[in-house]
Structure formats: structure tokens, C-alpha cells
Homo-oligomer: A and B are copies of this chain.
Amino acid sequence: MLVPMKSPGRRKTTRRKPRQRRARQTVEAILDAVVRILKRERFDTITTNHIAEVAGVSIGSLYQYFPDKRAIFVALHGRHIEEIDRRIQRTLVENASSSLEGLLRAMIDAMIDAHAGDPALYHLLSTEVPHRADGTMDFAVRLHGVFRLAIAARPGELKKGRNLDALAFVAANMVESLSHAALSQRPATLSLADKKKEILRAVLSYLHS
């Protein structure tokens, strides 16, 4: 969860039980296998047996960790969203006393860096893997909340009379979609750094308008 997480505290037990560590590894291997396959095949040609094979686990083990095929894709979306959430959360906290510009710059960096490991993954997930009711969309809502908080905490930097919801709605959407676009879209004339600068400029000029 993004906003309501008060204490970012680490788990006390750094060492989990080997059983759990093993399970985690298997789940990760399966999700990674799905990503690998998704890059070659269309969604509807993916089979659970193929996933298991590529993941290097038996089909029986796969079903030990996932109740059915759908659950694998739900988990894949979940893993991605949680990763982004975590970064956004951290950025928000770490920039609690930064200026709006500093926070936004960090936010845009976070969004883009979060995808840098596999720039194609986001596009793959959003276009190839059905996810209507998998809680995916709620990400936008949570981001809206984060921006609401961030903006509300810096009243001095805004003109009077601006609607907080409108500002958060527009700014959150800008950061999210422009960051994604920066990664998956071409304008080859622009470097990633250039795009980041432009996104920041766009959000700031809106918030200050």
C-alpha cells in the first residue's frame, strides 16, 4: 500500500525460514519465466506447462504456489505494482522536506528508474496481460493520494485558490503517464535525461500556473 503505510520499518527477522525463502525463490522464478515468455509469445499462447518448464520447476510445484493460471498473472502485476509503490513511498518520505521541485524531480526519477531494469516490462504488462480487476488500476488512485499529500504540504509554492484535487489529479497523471511514455516511446531526438527535464518542467509550470 502506498499512502497509509506509516512505518516503513524493516521486518525484524532478516533471516526467514528456509522454507519461506525457497518458496519465494520459486515464485520469483515462475514470474520471471512468464516475463521471459511474454517477450516471445502472445498472451493466449502461453501455457502453464511452458511456464513451469522455463522456470525450471515441475508443473506440480507451480500449482503448489498458484491456485490456477490466472493467479500467476495477477501475481505478476502485483509484483510490479508493489515495486513501484515501494519506490514512490520511499521517495515521498525521503523528500519530506524537499521543495516541490526537488520532490517532483525525485518522483519522476523514481518512476523512470523503477522501469529501467526492464524498460519493456511495463508496456508488456499493460498491453498483453489482462488485468481489469486485479487492483492494478488502483495504482492511479494511490498515486493521486500521494500527490495530494505532497502538494498540500507545500502551500507556499502554489498560487492561491487552486483546487487541490485538480492539481493532484493532473500532476499524478502527468508524472505517471509521461514517465511511462518516456521509456516506451520513440522521439529518438530526445535523450531520457531530456525527457525527464521536460516532464519536470511540464508539471512545475502546471502547478505554478
A interface residue numbers (CB < 8 A to B): 42-44, 70, 123-124, 126-132, 136-137, 140-141, 144, 163, 165-166, 168-170, 173-174, 176-178, 181, 184-187, 189-190, 194-195, 198-199, 201-202, 205-206, 208-209
Q: How many subunits of this chain does the assembly comprise?
A: 4
Once A201-B209, A205-B209, A206-B201 are accepted as A-B contacts, the answer to whether A126 and B126 lie under 8 Å apart by CB is yes
| A166 touches which of B44, B198, B205 (Cβ 8 Å) | B198
Once A43-B130, A44-B70, A130-B128 are accepted as A-B contacts, the answer to whether A174 and B202 lie under 8 Å apart by CB is yes
* Interface contact B178-A198, CB-CB below 8 Å: no
| A185 CB to nearest chain B CB (Å) | 6
Once A190-B165, A190-B169, A202-B206 are accepted as A-B contacts, the answer to whether A124 and B129 lie under 8 Å apart by CB is no
